[in-house]
Structure 1
Amino acid sequence: MTTSRPRPPVPYDFLPPVPSFSVSSTDIADGQVLPQAHVEDAAGSVSPQLSWTGAPAGTRSYAVTCFDPDAPTGSGFWHWVLFDIPADVTELPTGAGSGDFTGLPAGAKHGRNDYGQSAFGGAAPPPGHGPHRYIFAVHALDVPTLGPDDGAPPAYVGFNMFGHTLGRALLTASYENRG
């Protein structure tokens, strides 16, 4: 049974404001339901295509994250943490963050998501918990590399992004497991 409850805040609301730029996707649409391909199941899930434009001058790399603030954990749930994306890359093809990582830019590193994997992990809210938001963020950074190794936890990657974020582009989709 779906119950009405206050929606947890978006974590970026607690960070210093930065300019926004544009992110879009051929796989997901802002404000719409996340397609089944991006939902976790026995076969895994596929990371969505993302494209971005209008990053601030001085951008030297990007990070891409996906966060579910509505997860019943008290701290949300990180589904994707990808960083050290070169500044000349402005698109990730479908599946770049999952499977055999086809299309993953050279030099990019995956942090560990909250599934414990260094990859994209799809939506998997508990049955009957109501709709969850999946916030895909592209972070424009003023450094070519952040410093953490592959498999670094999301909080550590985020800590390293703090003070280096020049801009942020957000795309939010939702998904509900009516189970």
Structure 2
Amino acid sequence: MSDNTAFAVTSPTLTENTNISESQYLNSFGCTGENERPVLQWCNAPKGTKSFAVTFYDEDAPTGSGFWHWVCYDIPGDVNEVTSGPNPKGSKEANSDFGEPGYFGPCPPIGRKHRYTYYVHALDANTIDVPENATGALAGFFIHQHTLAKASFSVIAGPRAE
């Protein structure tokens, strides 16, 4: 963990600010993807980081408040990536805006392009006290209380045809 270089997140399976692959789309709500979660890797967490949280958020969802696709927290401080496989040991998930925990890929409305952002939060606590069955927004409240630094990585989905 370094004080000299900015906290950053990258992905070997995505290119920032470009369209995701078809396999990364949700397989529901009219989308026919494989709901494939990308690999995310981060580096240069600030001194004092004890754990991480990773969130995935639709900036352009037509809800007035965006849309939480994934919230994973209590990721141990010695972990520096999430893969397309199981979540890191010891981590927990809050409910997405689908009403349940888990990763849910993008599925923008037909004809619309949406921006989706992955955020990695370096946290000052080993665990955070998120209530069971918390929404992404409520989990975000607890995550933000413990955030030392935040790194982001954005992608695009859509527009998809009818």
Q: TM-score range by the shorter chain?
A: 0.7 to 0.9
Q: Could you say if the C-alpha distance between residues 117 and 68 of structure 1 is closer, same or farther in structure 2, counting changes exceeding 3 Å? A: same
Which amino acid letter does the alignment assign opposite residue 29 of structure 1? Answer: T
Which amino acid letter does the alignment assign opposite residue 119 of structure 1? Answer: G
**Match of 1:41?**
27
SS at match of 1:170: strand
Gaps of at least 5 residues in structure 1 are: 1-18, 97-101
Which amino acid letter does the alignment assign opposite residue 152 of structure 1? Answer: A
**Off by >4 Å, runs of 4+ in structure 1:** none
Tell me the TM-score normalised to structure 2 length. 0.88
**Match of 1:152?**
134
| CA displacement 1:27-61 (0-9 Å, x = unmatched) | 11111111112111147512111100011100010
The answer to whether structure 1 residue 28 and structure 2 residue 14 are counterparts is yes
Count residues with an aligned counterpart: 153
- RMSD across aligned positions (CA): 1.7
C-alpha distance in structure 2 between counterparts of 1:35 and 1:166, whole Å: 32
How far the C-alpha of 1:116 sits from its partner, in A, is 1.6
Which amino acid letter does the alignment assign opposite residue 55 of structure 1? Answer: A
Tell me the TM-score normalised to structure 1 length. 0.80
The answer to whether structure 1 residue 114 and structure 2 residue 97 are counterparts is yes
| CA displacement 1:95-151 (0-9 Å, x = unmatched) | x3xxxxx3x2111001111112211101011102x2100100100000111111453
Q: Could you say if the C-alpha distance between residues 131 and 20 of structure 1 is closer, same or farther in structure 2, counting changes exceeding 3 Å? A: farther
**Match of 2:52?**
62
How far the C-alpha of 1:178 sits from its partner, in A, is 2.8
Q: Could you say if the C-alpha distance between residues 83 and 75 of structure 1 is closer, same or farther in structure 2, counting changes exceeding 3 Å? A: same
Percent identity (aligned): 39
State how 1:164-175 maps to structure 2 within 5 Å: 164-175=146-157
C-alpha distance in structure 1 between counterparts of 2:82 and 2:119, whole Å: 13
The answer to whether structure 1 residue 90 and structure 2 residue 72 are counterparts is no
